[in-house]
Amino acid sequence: MAIVTPGRHPAFAPIGRLRKSPLKSGKKSMMMPLNLTAMVDMFTVIVIFLLQSFSASGEIMFIQKEIKLPTATQAQPLEERGPVITLFKNAVLIEGEEIAKLEDLDDAEAGIPALTERLGRIRVNEEKLVARDPSKPFDGHLIVQADIETDFELVRKAIFSVNESGWTHLQFATLEAKKDKPAGEAGAEE
C-alpha cells in the first residue's frame, strides 16, 4: 500500500446546514430583542432588596408630638429596634396606646402591673415569631422615651416592670445636645 498525504478538508463540515437563510451567509443579526419581562422582574427584586435593607438609624416609629425628650452630650444613635414605651407626667403608653394613668397606680407597688402584663404578651409573641434556642435567655430590645418633666418615680416603676417581664436590653431615647465650640474656633470661622 502506498503512502499518501491527506487532502484539504473544510474546517467545519456542517456550516451549510447551520445557515437559516442562504442570503445571510451564516452571520448573526445585529438587532437583538430585549426580554423586558425578565428585566422588569430583576429591577423589582433590586428595589425590594434596597427598601428592606435601608436603615434609618436613630428614628423611632412611635414618637409623640407632645413629648420633650431630655438632651445628652454623650448621645449615640439607636441601633436596635423594639417596642417603644412612652412616659408622660400622667400616663404610660406602649406603641402609642395608653395602658396606665398615674392616678391609677398604687404607690406601694414597685412596678406598673399593666405594663408588665403587656410586655409579657409582646415577649411571648416575639418568641413565637423567632425560633430561638430555649437554653439561651430572651434577648429583647426595648426603647423608653420619657418626657423631660416626668417624675423619676414613674421611670423607676417602668424600668422595674420591664425587668420583671424579662426584657434585657433597655435604651433611653434622648436628643443630642449641641456641643459648644472652644473660644479659639469661634473667631477663626468669622
Q: How confident is the model at residue 44 (pLDDT cuts 50, 70, 90)?
A: very high
**Residues 16, 127: Cα–Cα separation, whole Å:** 68
The pTM assigned to this predicted structure is 0.56
Q: What is the mean pLDDT of residues 26-55?
A: 79
| Residue 81: inside a domain | yes
Q: In this predicted structure, which of 13-22, 47-56, 83-92, 151-160 has the lowest mean pLDDT?
A: 13-22
At a CB cut-off of 8 Å and minimum separation 6, what does 169 contact? Answer: 80, 82, 139, 140, 141, 142
| Residue 117: inside a domain | yes
If one compares 139 and 190, the residue with the highest pLDDT of the two is: 139
| Residue 165: inside a domain | yes
C-alpha angle 32-35-36 in degrees, rounded to nearest 5: 125
**Would you report the helix, strand and coil content of the chain in percent, each value rounded to 5?**
35, 15, 55
Range of the domain at 131: 71-176
What does the pLDDT look like over 51-105, one tens digit per residue?
877 655 545 555 667 788 888 888 777 777 778 888 887 888 888 788 877 777 7
Q: How confident is the model at residue 42 (pLDDT cuts 50, 70, 90)?
A: very high
- DSSP bridge partners of 155: none
| Residue 136: inside a domain | yes
**Residues 59, 183: Cα–Cα separation, whole Å:** 33
Residue showing cell 445636645: 177
Question: 58: closest CA among 75, 83, 74?
Answer: 75
| Residue 23: inside a domain | no
Average per-residue pLDDT for the chain: 75
pLDDT of the residue at 150: 84
* Number of domains present in the structure of the chain: 1
CATH number where 142 lies = 3.30.420
**Residues 68, 26: Cα–Cα separation, whole Å:** 77
